[in-house]
Structure 1
Amino acid sequence: MLQPGAVGAARVVEGRASDLVVVGDFTGLAFASFQMTFAIIASAIISGSLVERVRFSAYCIMLALWSLLIYAPLCHWVWGPGSWIGQLGALDFAGGTVVHISSGVSGLVAGAILGPRKHVEKDMGPANAPFVILGGCLLWFGWLGFNGGSALSTTDGVAARAVATTFVAAASSMLTWLALERVLKGKSTSVGASVGAVAGLVVITPAAGFVTPGWSIAIGALGAPWCYLTVEAVNRINLVDDTLDAFGLHGSGGFAGAILTGIFAVDEGLIYSGSFVLLGKQIAGALAGVAFSAVGTAIIMGVMKMLFKLRIPEDQEIGGVDEHTHGESYHSSTKTYSAGGRMTESETSKESAPAEDQLISECGASWIPLITDYEPSPSESRSSDLCQVSAFASNVVKWSHDASVGEYARVAQSTAHQLALFAGGGSVTNLVGVDVASGDVRYCVDTGIGAVWSLCASGEPLRVLCGGSWTRPTHTAEVSGFDAMSGEKLFALDPGVGRYIVSTALRDGGTAFVSGENGMVVALDTATGEVKFRSDSMVEEVWSLEVASELGLILCSGGWSEKVSALDMRTGELRWGPVNATIGKVFSFQLVDSILLCGGADGLLAGIDPGSGDLRFTLAVNIGEIWSLAYDPKSRTLFCGGNNESVAAVQL
């Protein structure tokens, strides 16, 4: 593509590249600028394997070295004059090996040396699906210039062919990806459509000017499952934290494109010539790109690791690289609280003190706001693991005392009755009623059911339901009902839901719902404990129940699975599900404004349509596992409690 010795440093710096002789219609400076975009894109792809834990300074140094020592030589080998891969006869129209194999493989190696993120178990998914779609559209549009411009001419029809094959392959890959999602996961997604299109764009890149639009359909359809299965394999094996699937899409997609070029290229490809010669050359060129990129990147990262630190400190990683390194955050509506209940420094000057009618609960070092300035609907209950409870205004404690319920306490409350209820989750098995205004204890009674794993209060007259766990020989997996105002026990029985009762819920009309270890949901009469029905939720270990009275549904989620289902509130019949919430294990669960919010082990918040079970959105909250949710309807704010000593407030 270039004549040897055509470029002098002074000419490039001064913009005088008239001596740069280029094959095609480009001037010298235009060609250099066009090639610069290839190097920039390759460097950007690598970042997808390193984000959320690499030091910014180390990243900049690494990319400078990589561009000079890895990208530039490989680019010359494929496209430069006298290049050995080019002389071999391997074809790479627009960068399958030069850009995608090099960056994807280098990202995988760099990510392996850097190590995985510490605050997540696996990929957390997209933080903003509409932005993923927008990004996919921009990439698709830009790729037409990426591949079409690589013809270096507009007069011989090659550029037009490259644009056409690029568009068709992306569409074919997108449709194939959607079909794979439907077959393997039960639903096709908009994010999947965007990712599938990008996979097709990558795979067609080395072949764009060498194949016909008809064969580009096959290239897209074959490249999509190749990339899909690679992404799934990397994530499941979990050997490398390839955060944005750079290797799965670009490394493996570029390799697949190189092979498919050897099969479908006009005249020389296997389909046309019946010869394996070009296919062999394509494999050799691609393997050379893999080997050089992998070894070179390993050497660069190894030397850098010996000289200085590559990773940010763990506390900054958990708190967020954007906040600590750059002083900014994408989630501008999310406020993160540190382990003292204080906002981060960037937010403190912007936010006023919490309202007087809030309750803040402290469990270890985590703070979980519980909103008490409104009367919950019959379907709502508030419960959370607590060790101490205090009401405050302007960060001044109004009252606090030992609630006499031991460790791992549960809490529920009723604003209308000015009553807070606590029950022991450990060795102390008391149920305690406390006056919210004064902090005076109204009663303290023994539940008689061992460790209380669940507690809820609702209805009129106000009832309290306690679910017990068989954790010691003296404990039983029973459920007890109490009169909330007096503490009088109304009933106690084994509902038959396994060794522990994880969730309880109440509704007006005198019905309580209980779930537990074996996935069964039991409906009880709140006055007598009589069993009304017993149904299988089809969810493993139902950790959370929500009663959607207006829909006539009981909503169930599994703490040891990603599943959510819905039962008929009156008959127990399965209405929909189980469906996958795609957020890891579902640890928290709440119905808010006709949307079911689920907090997961992957730090994601999912919104599910309670009527149909359709997944509406997912949102990354970035506070570790989301164990608790509480909603303030006045400000439309959802408070999320995590396991990394932080909570978040999300504007809905």
Structure 2
Amino acid sequence: MNLKPVCPALSLAILPALLPSLAQAQDTEPVLSAGDTAFVATCALIVMLMMLPGLGLFYAGMTRSKNVLSVLTQIIASISLICVLWILYGYSLTFADGGGMQGLIGGTSKLFLSGVNADSLVGTIPEYLYVMFMMMFAAITPPIIVGAFAERMKFAAVLIFMGVWLTINYIPMAHMAWGGGWVFGIGVQDFAGGNVVHLNAGMAALVCALVLGPRKGYGSQMMAPHNMTMTYTGGAMLWVGWLAFCGGCALAANGYAMVIMLNTMLGGAGGALAWMAVEWAHRGKPSTFGLLSGTIAGLVAITPACGFVGPAGAILVGALVSPVCVFFVEVVKHRFGYDDSFDVFGVHGVAAFVGGILTVIFAAPALGGIGYAEGRTMLSQMLPQVLIMLFSMTVSVVTTWIALKIAGALVGLRVDEEAELEGLDIAEHGEVGYRLGDGVYGGALVMAGAEGQPVPRPAMTVAKAH
């Protein structure tokens, strides 16, 4: 069965088994479904809330107060840029027929959305809606990387990096996995973008952290989150948005979509509780930051698994991934000394890889999953699963390095030392996030009091003093 993919969720090998109605629809004229359209449109809007206020607040609260606006600005500007580029060429190069290059990149027949109109359908929903829903995936993936280089990268470099990375990394990766490319034909069990979104962004974050180097004072000065209530609010919005992110991939309002959303919710819950338990045992106190970190780790891990496992398996996927992420955040990061500001690699990258492996394990019918494609066993499914994840990691490392080199050659990557000490809010944007009653920049006062002070015992994802 060789169906044209309509969603990142659906693996070629198991699509007919999961959605037989789509298989039958090959020989019939597609018909618009008002229910499916309303459901996917709602999911798209909720994913937008997940991006702009959700990711923005989650990251902004983790910064020092002198850099809060810089992170918010980087995220909203990156999302805006990516949305425009997606319409200009991103959608076409991802989903249009690529001719002789079909295995690696799509074609140019839908540049500027040529040929897309109000009557064209993808499955049972308008193609315009499909364009928008997939635009949300494209727009949220590169900004995840902001958490790795926060507080030290030039704004102009951020924009150049985002545009280049989208073009040479995300679009080919999305086409290969979702748009009919060679990865799609392998039948990897990755429901909603564990590879293309989270593993890809996580590896890119590690490369960015290594290339840019640590922030000034990393390991010796206060770098704890300046506003945990802001981070909590953003993290809660991410959790809500994740249900729409994964559930909308069914492209239909049906029972299967509801299982996906339930599994997504449970993956986050399992991750939160497991991180809390590890932190409680390790530090003697559970922290809000630890619970949020575990929630995100569980959500990342369940992203590839949510369409293949049962509810009990979803809880275990989240619970098993959190201790691994804790180890990378608490031990590996400090042993090697890289400054991944908000632990994008330690959470997104690590959880996506572990989640990809756990997907195959808990997809087993004996463990409540839906099973494997005909002729495949757990072991034979695991081989392409791991190989494609390794391929994704390699592509991410190479393309991220190239994008950084291009941005660095054009405008330079890092702000100068004076700007970094002053804060990027003022140095890069000429404004401040907070003012005290007398009009003095609150962030500057906070930092003046923190210079040279030892770093207190942080939450599980905050840089420690060496």
TM-score clears 0.5: yes
CA distance in 1: counterparts of 2:438 and 2:346, whole angstroms: 33
Letter of the structure 2 residue corresponding to residue 12 of structure 1: L
CA distance in 1: counterparts of 2:197 and 2:288, whole angstroms: 26
1:238 deviation in Å?
4.3
CA distance in 2: counterparts of 1:264 and 1:193, whole angstroms: 24
Q: Which ranges in structure 2 are unaligned for 5 or more consecutive residues?
A: 7-94, 98-106, 364-368
**Structure with bigger RCO (C-alpha 8 Å, 6+ apart):** 2
Match of 1:280 among 383, 391, 395: 383
Number of residue pairs matched? 353
Q: Say whether residues 1:169 and 2:272 are aligned partners.
A: no
Letter of the structure 1 residue corresponding to residue 454 of structure 2: A
Match of 1:210 among 294, 305, 308: 308
Does structure 1 conserve the Cα–Cα contact (< 8 Å) formed by 2:434 and 2:443?
no
Does structure 2 conserve the Cα–Cα contact (< 8 Å) formed by 1:261 and 1:269?
no
Does structure 1 conserve the Cα–Cα contact (< 8 Å) formed by 2:278 and 2:323?
yes
1:148 deviation in Å?
0.3
Match of 2:408 among 305, 324, 327: 305
1:267 deviation in Å?
4.3
CA separation of 1:10 and 1:101: change in aligned 2, threshold 3 A: closer
CA separation of 1:284 and 1:138: change in aligned 2, threshold 3 A: same
Paired position in structure 2 for 1:399: none
Q: Say whether residues 1:253 and 2:351 are aligned partners.
A: yes
1:341-380 counterparts in 2 under 5 A? none
Paired position in structure 1 for 2:113: 12
Does structure 1 conserve the Cα–Cα contact (< 8 Å) formed by 2:156 and 2:411?
no
Does structure 2 conserve the Cα–Cα contact (< 8 Å) formed by 1:269 and 1:279?
no
Match of 1:145 among 219, 244, 255: 244
1:165 deviation in Å?
0.4
Larger mean CA deviation between 237-246 and 56-65 belongs to 237-246
Letter of the structure 1 residue corresponding to residue 214 of structure 2: P
Q: Quick one: percent identity of the two aligned structures? A: 34
CA distance in 2: counterparts of 1:44 and 1:196, whole angstroms: 20
CA distance in 1: counterparts of 2:415 and 2:362, whole angstroms: 46
1:236-257: CA deviations, max 9, x gaps?
1243210011111111111111
Which structure's CA Rg is the greater one? Answer: 1
Paired position in structure 2 for 1:222: 320
CA separation of 1:167 and 1:320: change in aligned 2, threshold 3 A: same
Q: Say whether residues 1:326 and 2:429 are aligned partners.
A: yes
Match of 1:182 among 268, 280, 283: 280
Match of 2:454 among 587, 591, 601: 601
Letter of the structure 2 residue corresponding to residue 211 of structure 1: V
SS of the residue 1:117 aligns to: coil
CA separation of 1:304 and 1:335: change in aligned 2, threshold 3 A: farther
1:274 deviation in Å?
5.4
Does structure 2 conserve the Cα–Cα contact (< 8 Å) formed by 1:261 and 1:282?
no
CA distance in 1: counterparts of 2:162 and 2:441, whole angstroms: 32
Q: Which ranges in structure 1 are unaligned for 5 or more consecutive residues?
A: 337-342, 348-365, 369-582, 588-599, 607-614, 626-652
CA distance in 2: counterparts of 1:64 and 1:26, whole angstroms: 29
1:96-495 counterparts in 2 under 5 A? 96-121=194-219, 124-155=223-254, 157-265=255-363, 266-268=369-371, 275-333=378-436
1:252-301: CA deviations, max 9, x gaps?
1111111111111234459x975301111111111111000011111221
Does structure 2 conserve the Cα–Cα contact (< 8 Å) formed by 1:268 and 1:278?
no
Does structure 1 conserve the Cα–Cα contact (< 8 Å) formed by 2:434 and 2:442?
no
CA distance in 2: counterparts of 1:216 and 1:346, whole angstroms: 41
Letter of the structure 1 residue corresponding to residue 348 of structure 2: H
CA distance in 2: counterparts of 1:297 and 1:108, whole angstroms: 10
Cα RMSD for the two superposed structures: 3.4
Q: Say whether residues 1:67 and 2:170 are aligned partners.
A: no
Per residue, is there more strand in 1 or in 2? 1
CA separation of 1:220 and 1:296: change in aligned 2, threshold 3 A: same
Does structure 2 conserve the Cα–Cα contact (< 8 Å) formed by 1:42 and 1:103?
yes
Letter of the structure 2 residue corresponding to residue 231 of structure 1: V
Q: Say whether residues 1:51 and 2:150 are aligned partners.
A: yes
SS of the residue 1:84 aligns to: coil
CA distance in 2: counterparts of 1:44 and 1:107, whole angstroms: 10
Does structure 1 conserve the Cα–Cα contact (< 8 Å) formed by 2:204 and 2:396?
yes
CA separation of 1:93 and 1:17: change in aligned 2, threshold 3 A: farther
SS of the residue 2:188 aligns to: coil
CA separation of 1:132 and 1:10: change in aligned 2, threshold 3 A: closer
Does structure 2 conserve the Cα–Cα contact (< 8 Å) formed by 1:206 and 1:258?
yes
Does structure 1 conserve the Cα–Cα contact (< 8 Å) formed by 2:207 and 2:400?
yes
CA distance in 2: counterparts of 1:308 and 1:167, whole angstroms: 42
CA distance in 2: counterparts of 1:11 and 1:316, whole angstroms: 39
Does structure 2 conserve the Cα–Cα contact (< 8 Å) formed by 1:96 and 1:254?
yes
CA distance in 1: counterparts of 2:448 and 2:158, whole angstroms: 35
Per residue, is there more helix in 1 or in 2? 2
CA distance in 2: counterparts of 1:85 and 1:367, whole angstroms: 52
CA separation of 1:316 and 1:253: change in aligned 2, threshold 3 A: same
CA separation of 1:120 and 1:277: change in aligned 2, threshold 3 A: same
1:329 deviation in Å?
2.7
Letter of the structure 2 residue corresponding to residue 601 of structure 1: P
